[in-house]
């Protein structure tokens, strides 16, 4: 288990890319320095990495550095006679591309992409891109350039053409650029690229779905400085949002007060109380096709929220709180015409302390949802791992203890299977 930190930090199991062989191509640009970090991250995730550099890339980064990080000699020339891909035929453009699970060009300069558009092949990297088996070896490009170059119609036209020709062109970042200007065109950060590559290899079982996920606790205010909440960390719901995005869905996360970073590519709405959460979810459920209700919504809220802090006056008198019940958000959405008509598939969660199966079955019926996911609350709150029991009309499925991300990915597959049925 590893804790990643950075702009899009997330908790992830290691070895996300075990068994994958990546040819990492560097074309010329200052973003080559990020390719070094990316190479290291790919290797750390279990991939084998073969680096290929253009002459321009060598102006920005040495082959020595990339060899040290990848653990393999770097190729820079189509005339390189060293054994490549296990063959001695002096054809590195054929041999290197045949053994790759993907060719990733990071950075992909404006000039390099223009070359690819025209099928030019006058140096090893472009030659290899052209010579790759187009059906089995995906080409992934991470553009990097000045904002004017990025916005230029020629570049945008080229990107469109590259996509038509089957390449995957990743987003660019916005912000300060090495040239001193500010705008779009920065290469994504290494952790963002890593996320996109891990996602690339996941099967898109939720493509076309609009997935709505609730996560975390709610906070029910007593007065401006006090409130009632619970121990839900939000990690399971955040992992489900990430897994659904990896599976190709458009994902919106409605999160109670937790400090977790938003999974890359996921839209997030922060809420506090159960009533805030209900308002956001009721609205989004009008267009969602899947709703996973992983939030630990408070069952009750104080009947009254004081405008001013309740003061301790020294008399020894203690305030008396009375409660009202919160609406059941999930049950309400599951009873809506869209859910009843089959346009919205609802998944509930049950955090129990004992008798998981019986409680999960009862809760499934009470909430009116097709799928209920049971877990033992005290054993999972705040942890990075969990174990799940899925209950639907046909019976039960156990997902044994694993990291929350692994379980979330399994749950996504289970949901997709039920959507297809
Ligand atoms: O009734 P209980 O809280 O155990 O049910 C858990 C399930 O119901 C979870 O999916 C939770 O998100 C949802 N829930 C809700 N609104 C509530 C209470 C729970 O949507 N007021």
Residue-wise pLDDT for 24-48, tens only, equals: 999 999 999 999 999 999 999 999 9
**Does this chain's domain 21-200 share its CATH topology with 210-299+323-420?**
yes
d(CA 24, CA 52): 6
The one-character DSSP state at 344 is S
Catalogue the E-assigned strands of 256-343: 267-270, 290-293, 300-302, 323-325
Three-state SS at 26 = strand
Task: CATH number for 21-200: choose from 3.40.50.1950, 3.30.413.10, 3.40.50.1110, 2.30.40.10.
Answer: 3.40.50.1950
The larger pLDDT score, comparing residue 2 to residue 191, is at 191
Catalogue the E-assigned strands of 133-245: 139-143, 168-169, 173-176, 182-186, 210-215, 220-223, 226-228
What number of other Cβ atoms are within 10 A of residue 288's Cβ? Answer: 26
Among 220, 367, 368, 373, which residue has the most ligand 1 atoms within 8 Å of its CB, making it the best to mutate?
367
- 131 pLDDT band, cuts 50/70/90, is very high
Atom of ligand 1 minimally distant from the CA of 299: 21
Which pLDDT does position 4 carry in this prediction? 38
- Which residues carry out catalysis? 179
Which pLDDT does position 381 carry in this prediction? 76
Token pair recorded at residue 151:
């916005």
pLDDT of residue 368 exceeding 50, the answer is yes
Partners of 402 in beta bridges: 386
Domains in the chain: boundaries: 21-200, 210-299+323-420
Partners of 51 in beta bridges: 24
| Distance between Cα 141 and ligand 1 center (Å) | 43
d(CA 185, CA 144): 5
Which pLDDT does position 13 carry in this prediction? 52
Which has the closest alpha carbon to 244: 277, 275, 289? 289
Atom of ligand 1 minimally distant from the CA of 331: 20
What's this model's pTM, rounded to 2 decimal places?
A: 0.93
Mean pLDDT, range 169-187, rounded to an integer: 94
| Distance between Cα 402 and ligand 1 center (Å) | 23
Considering the domain 210-299+323-420 in this protein, what is its CATH number?
A: 3.40.50.10300
Atom of ligand 1 minimally distant from the CA of 281: 20
Dump pLDDT digits (tens) for 331-360. 999 999 999 999 999 999 998 888 999 999
Catalogue the E-assigned strands of 157-314: 168-169, 173-176, 182-186, 210-215, 220-223, 226-228, 250-255, 267-270, 290-293, 300-302
Which has the closest alpha carbon to 56: 124, 128, 149? 124
| Distance between Cα 175 and ligand 1 center (Å) | 41
């Amino acid at each position: 288990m590893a804790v990643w930190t950075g702009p899009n930090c997330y908790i992830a199991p290691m070895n996300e890319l075990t068994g994958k062989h990546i040819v990492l191509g560097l074309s010329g640009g200052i973003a080559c320095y990020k390719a070094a970090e990316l190479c290291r991250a790919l290797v750390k995730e279990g991939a084998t990495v073969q680096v290929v550099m253009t002459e321009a890339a060598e102006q920005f980064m040495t082959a020595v550095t990339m060899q040290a990080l990848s653990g393999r000699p770097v190729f820079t020339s189509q005339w390189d006679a060293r054994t490549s891909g296990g063959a001695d035929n002096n054809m590195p453009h054929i041999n290197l591309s045949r053994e790759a699970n993907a060719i990733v060009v990071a950075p992909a300069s404006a000039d390099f992409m223009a070359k690819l558009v025209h099928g030019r092949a006058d140096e090893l990297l472009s030659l290899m891109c052209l010579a790759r088996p187009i059906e089995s070896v995906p080409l992934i490009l991470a553009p990097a350039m000045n904002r004017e170059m990025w916005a230029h119609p020629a570049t945008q036209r080229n990107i469109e053409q590259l996509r038509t020709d089957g390449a995957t062109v990743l987003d660019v970042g916005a912000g300060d650029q090495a040239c001193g200007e500010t705008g779009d065109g920065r290469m994504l950060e290494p952790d963002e690229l890593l996320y996109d590559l891990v996602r690339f290899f996941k099967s898109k079982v939720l493509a076309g779905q609009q997935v709505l996920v609730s996560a975390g606790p709610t906070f029910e205010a007593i007065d401006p400085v006090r409130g009632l909440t619970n121990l839900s960390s939000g990690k399971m719901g955040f992992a489900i949002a990430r897994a659904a995005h990896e599976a190709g869905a458009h994902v919106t996360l409605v999160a109670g007060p937790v400090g977790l970073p938003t999974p890359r590519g996921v839209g997030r709405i922060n809420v506090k109380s159960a009533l805030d959460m209900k308002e956001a979810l009721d609205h989004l459920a009008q267009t969602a096709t899947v709703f996973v209700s992983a939030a630990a919504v408070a069952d009750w809220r104080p009947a009254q929220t004081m405008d001013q802090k309740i003061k301790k006056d020294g008399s020894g008198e203690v305030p008396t709180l009375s409660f009202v019940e919160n609406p059941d958000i999930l049950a309400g959405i599951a009873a809506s015409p869209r859910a009843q008509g089959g346009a919205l598939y609802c998944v509930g969660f049950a955090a129990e302390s004992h008798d998981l199966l019986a409680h999960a079955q009862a809760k499934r019926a009470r909430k009116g949802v097709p799928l209920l996911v049971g877990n033992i609350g005290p054993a999972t709150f705040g942890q990075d791992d969990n174990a799940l029991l899925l209950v639907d009309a046909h019976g039960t499925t156990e997902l044994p203890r694993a990291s929350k991300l692994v379980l979330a990915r399994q749950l996504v597959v289970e949901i997709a299977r039920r959507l297809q049925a």
